[in-house]
Amino acid sequence: MSKPDATTIIVPSPGKLDVPAPPEVIRRFEEVLESLPDSMLEHHRETIVKAFRYAAEAHAGQTRLSGDPYIVHPLEVMAILAELQVDTVTLLGALLHDVVEDTGITVEDVAREFWPVVALLVEGITKLKPLQYDTKSNEARQAEYFRKMLLSMAQDLRVILIKLADRLHNMRTLEAMPPKSRQRIALETIEIYAPLAHRFGIGRLKWELEDLSLKVLDNVAYRRIAERVAMKREEREAAIDEVVQPLRKRLEEEGMRAEVVGRAKHFYSIYNKIKRRGKSFEEILDLLAVRILVDTIPDCYRALGVVHNLFTPILERFSDYIAMPKANMYQSLHTKVIDKHGRTVEVQIRTYEMETVSEVGIAAHWRYKEDGGDTLQQDNLGDYYRWLRQVIEGSRDAESDEEFMKNLKINLFTDEIFVFTPRGKLIQLPKAATPVDFAFAVHTDIGLTTLGAKVNGKMVPLDIGLNNGDSVEILTSVHAKPSVDWLRFVKTSRARSKIRRYLKQAQFEESVRLGEELLSRELGKYRKKLTKQKISDLVSSFGKESPEAFFAALGAGDLSLHSVVKHLVGEEEPKREKKTAFLRSIKKENAGIRVKGVDNLMVNIASCCNPLPGDRILGFISKGRGIVVHRMD
């Protein structure tokens, strides 16, 4: 991390902060400042005060649609991120994220006044300002916006933390927007931003984004769920208590320090289960949810044993996300049991550290890093960047904005499954992925030479959906190649991208071959041959970057064969035209052509090459035409 500038800043006592902002805004800033971790370095606090003053002065006189001073927005974005306990750089980026877009300040100014890495974040957010081009479709605007977002995230993933907090505060204050804008923003939030929060493991933001979106998109359903949850609260809390109390007692007897709590269901989660799973409201509310927090991973498994001894486990409903973490770093043991009243209870068991990661996700990386801890594995961040690179790579191969948005949503929405290679290596794939997806996940060369697949030792079709725990073996052949039909069923953007790239390259190579063949055949009519010098001249004259590109354009029909030939031979007539009468006489009488050892057969001269006496020839038997004679060259 770069050093802050050497300017000494005194953090004022409450009520004495000299900033062009209303007193209530200053008090709010002081509350947020007070909430920051005690471990934060003092000069970092001082720099945050400087950034607040800098942003307040830059936004002075600006207001939001709600009528609030504009500085309220960056302050609340910072407050949301402060709850995640992110690093100082992210907090500074939050406070300053709109100064370049909405004021006369430049990225260079930010870099000079603060740290270059802060300026990088501000620049990344500034590039994401909403597009206003009326000539573009909504799909095109969205695609361009999210392409820029992916590229900004690839430079520094903290950009997405700021953008998610920015979207959350906008959702909290959405009432000030016109109804049509509210609907559009809420739909975009539920389709893109909430899944992004989930993909990066930030459950705390995901849940609120989803609930706020539901409130706009289906307000009637939102209010009904809220009312019925409130009505059943006491009944549900009593039922949960009947599960929690015996668990606490038994865990204490086992000598474990454990926290056992009821787990709240979020409105959108309830709504989703009603809509997608066809469950009734009562069925979902009757499903009790409990979470157990312990100190260590061994304690997680000990607590699992306690749960299964106290209650009847539903064996097929057990998942071990500690041994096999989800792609967003989520770890926990999940089990379902039946209590003494026959009610189903969902139980999650995890460590306190896992609980933190499930709420703040990728933000934990920077929090731990700044505090000097090493509890978060460094390679987790690399996993996010690898995923991001795959999405960006896939976006380049998308043939339309609609396809790009579809692929992005697939990458964000799908749940994961875990399957194994024959050697026992774990491969993570989206739900319902196929053996072809698996092959490309293992290695591109394996995907490109896939011939067949075995799942759990049995031959299966390549389009079959894989399940958790499957063992997959890919059969390959140097003669096998991807089929365009694979694009119909593959689920991963990586597989889709690699297949499409191969097909494009194969089509290009076929066009090159066809272009060379067409031109050589046409020049043969003039008894001329292509030379390296002629090819070089053609490439230059027709504005192509290489001989391959020239022949591919010719083979694909993008270049006129007639114009190319005319460029080479000018107004010269084909040699065969000078002997038309002679050829006619040969064809008429079948003269000059004899097939040795065969009598009484019709013989025809091929019009494509018009062989002459003395040419080396080849005859083909053709139904209804006898023998058709071609030149061998």
Q: Are 584 and 610 in contact (CB under 8 A)?
A: no
State how far the alpha carbon of 573 is from the alpha carbons of 527, 564, 566, 597, 609, in Å: 11, 15, 10, 38, 15
Residues 6+ apart with CB under 8 A from 574: 525, 526
Q: Are 493 and 391 in contact (CB under 8 A)?
A: yes
Environment class of 433 (CB within 10 Å of its CB; exposed 0-12, middle 13-18, buried 19+)? buried
Distance CA 428, CA 424 (A): 13
Q: Which residue among the candidates 5, 24, 31, 101 is catalytic per the annotation?
A: 101
For the chain, what is the radius of gyration of the CA atoms? 34
Residues 6+ apart with CB under 8 A from 424: none
Short-list 66, 56, 65, CA closest to 22: 56
Q: Are 488 and 434 in contact (CB under 8 A)?
A: no
Burial 466-487 (b: 16+ CB within 10 A, else e): beeebebbbeeeeeeebeeebe
241: β partners: none
Quote the Cα angle for 416-417-419, to 5°.
145
Q: Are 308 and 333 in contact (CB under 8 A)?
A: no
- The 3 state secondary structure assigned to 411-429 is HHHCCEEEEECCCCCEEEE
Q: What share of the chain is helix, strand, coil (3-state, %, to 5)?
A: 55, 10, 30
Is residue 102 annotated as part of the catalytic site, yes or no?
yes
Distance CA 200, CA 182 (A): 25
Quote the Cα angle for 81-83-86, to 5°.
50
Distance CA 563, CA 553 (A): 13
Is residue 370 annotated as part of the catalytic site, yes or no?
no
Short-list 527, 619, 620, CA closest to 573: 527
DSSP states of 156-200 as a string?
-THHHHHHHHHHHHHHHTGGGS-HHHHHHHHHHIIIIIHHHHHHT
Question: 3-state class of 222 per DSSP?
Answer: helix
Q: Are 388 and 154 in contact (CB under 8 A)?
A: yes
Q: Which residue among the candidates 102, 397, 416, 522 is catalytic per the annotation?
A: 102
What are the backbone dihedrals phi and psi of residue 166, each rounded to the nearest 5 degrees, phi first?
-60, -45
Distance CA 165, CA 169 (A): 6
**Residue 265: left if φ>0, alpha if ψ -120 to 50, beta else—which one?**
beta
Helix/strand number for the chain, H first, E second: 27, 14
Count of other CB atoms within 10 angstroms of residue 507? 14
Give catalytic residues, as residue numbers: 101-102
